[in-house]
Amino acid sequence: MLLVIHLVIVAINILLGVLFARGKGASLIAGYNTMPRAEREKVDKKRLCRAMSRLMFILAACWLVIAASEVFHTLILLWVGLALFLVAAIVGAICIKPIGREKT
């Protein structure tokens, strides 16, 4: 049962990655949807969505490691997957913040 939940989380991340890869769903990005309209017009939405797409695919891969821990019944994969997920989320948030701030 837990494996199914893990795979659903992976599927959601992949679906979001595909959505962002198509340049859609920018309103789902925290921070972008709360910006004032004038500030949003300065953002390169296509670059922002592309970067978020890559982040979603990386997070899906990290969560697959967590799902593998359930398949192989090994706790080390769980901790490695969680550490990878946390590092990817933090680095992704730091790297994505400046992306698209100014249109070129």
Is the pLDDT at 99 greater than 90, yes or no? Answer: no
- pTM here? 0.89
Is the pLDDT at 102 greater than 80, yes or no? Answer: no
Is the pLDDT at 104 greater than 60, yes or no? Answer: no
CB–CB of 15/63 below 8 Å?
no
| Residues 67-97: tens digit of each pLDDT | 999 999 999 999 999 999 999 999 998 988 7
pLDDT band at 101 (very low <50, low <70, confident <90, very high): low
For residue 85, give the nearest of 64, 59, 67 by alpha carbon: 59
| Residues 13-63: tens digit of each pLDDT | 999 999 999 999 988 988 888 889 898 888 889 999 999 999 999 999 999
Is the pLDDT at 100 greater than 60, yes or no? Answer: no
